[in-house]
Amino acid sequence: MNKLTYIDDCRLDQFIFKKLLSRYGSPVEVECLDTAVESLIQLKRKCLDADGLPDIILLDIYNPFLDAWNFLDRVQALYPVLAKPVEVYILSASRYPTDVERLKQYDFVKAYIVKPVTREVLEQLVREKELAE
């Protein structure tokens, strides 16, 4: 089973995301967090525990307290000691070419996804992760 962490301070988006998963019987174990700070704390605490780490992180680019860029910089520093690769996908309500270009400096960032996340997008992420393993 894939573990996914969904980081978005909008509780409505979290609710919709969870409904999407439950409606289509997704095999993904999901944890929703309000801030990237919470996720960073968990990554640091579980960095040596492959089973405790998420396989995929979906991160809203505009996050309070710790924006996506600061989060990604911190994950990049932590990445070499993670017990397994964690794929990060950046979410945004709109597509900004400068943001998409800037994300290329992070090897673990796999894509920039325009919200809302659809069932098809989620299934593709899970399928690609399973094929890679």
- CATH number for the domain spanning 10: value is 3.40.50.2300
What is the span of the domain harbouring residue 64? 3-132
Which residues does the chain have with pLDDT short of 70?
A: 1, 126, 129-133
Give how many domains the chain has, as a whole number. Answer: 1
pTM: 0.90
pLDDT value at residue 91? 92
**Under a CB-based contact definition with an 8 Å cutoff, are residues 59 and 34 in contact?**
no
pLDDT in tens, 80-107: 999 999 999 999 888 888 888 999 999 9
